[in-house]
Amino acid sequence: MIRLDAVTKTFERPVLRGVNLHVPQGRLYGLIGPGGAGKSVVVKAIAGLVWPDGGEIVVRGKEVLSMTDAELATHRRNIGMVFQNNALFDFMTIGENVAFPLRRLLGIGESEIGERVAERLARVGLSGFEGRLPAGLSGGQKKRVGIARATITRAPIVLCDEPAAGLDPVTSQRIFDLLREEQQRASSTVLMVSSDIDRLLTVTDLVGVLHQGQIVFEGTTEETRGSDVPVVRQLLRGDNDGPL
């Protein structure tokens, strides 16, 4: 479903140094690694928001880096994004924020838009919030609005960049559980980046570890927990004093 082969990207310094990664269809894949390892760059490259310097990105059988503008637009319509900073429009109501992808990408009627917005907000526990503004919501509620917006188009792929950043442990777990429920309900393919590794591993099928610009480990959640790879053990311990 999602495959990266030898993907490289340099900004002021090399960030991705030949990333190889495979996310099978219908699985929830957690991407972890130390801060600054390039995890968000991987997510943005898959979405076509950052252009790598080299390598190959294949999504649903199509090579992203060779797409035309029209093909890239279609590619992005097949992806739901959960952003680290929520990326809600402050001047729009919650209903307008959630409806935004439908109006921008699908061009469906207002009656259906209203029905789908109400259904999505109900799914994330925010029924009746359509008329509120983001400024009046808690951090956890804003995250749930972001999830509703990311899943409203029923995209086959959902990319999550630090979906629980800044939340307390209880709210963080609720966000991960909600994303897992949505993934299983829709049989979607999800790539999730998070620094909250303990809670991330409660919902993943597969895990990849990005370190010094490369994937140094891939395995099931169980294999990750039992790994003897030093960088994996250090990340699971939350040890920031080692050579990461």
- Identify the three-state secondary structure at position 59: strand
**Nearest-5° Cα angle at 148, 176 to 131:** 130
Residue 133 phi, psi (nearest 5): -105, 150
Interatomic CA distance for residues 56 and 154, integer angstroms: 26
Residue 199, token pair as written in the block:
């809670």
Q: Are 121 and 127 in contact (CB under 8 A)?
A: yes
Q: Give the Å distances, CA to CA, from 87 to 78, 193, 201.
A: 19, 16, 25
Interatomic CA distance for residues 91 and 97, integer angstroms: 9
Average pLDDT of every residue of the chain: 92
Q: Give the Å distances, CA to CA, from 3 to 19, 23, 55, 237.
A: 10, 6, 11, 29
pLDDT per position as a tens digit, 180-229: 998 998 999 999 999 999 999 999 999 999 999 999 999 999 999 999 99
What is the torsion angle, in degrees rounded to the nearest 10, for the CA atoms of residue 71, residue 73, residue 77 and residue 82? 120
pTM for this predicted structure: 0.90
Neighbour count for residue 135 (Cβ, 10 Å) = 8
Closest alpha carbon to 122 in 183, 192, 186, 178: 178
pLDDT per position as a tens digit, 45-98: 999 999 999 999 999 999 999 999 999 989 988 999 998 888 899 999 999 999
What pLDDT was estimated at residue 36? 87
Neighbour count for residue 113 (Cβ, 10 Å) = 19
Residue 224 phi, psi (nearest 5): -65, -45
What pLDDT was estimated at residue 244? 52
What pLDDT was estimated at residue 242? 47
Q: How many CA atoms lie within 13 A of 144 on its CB side?
A: 24
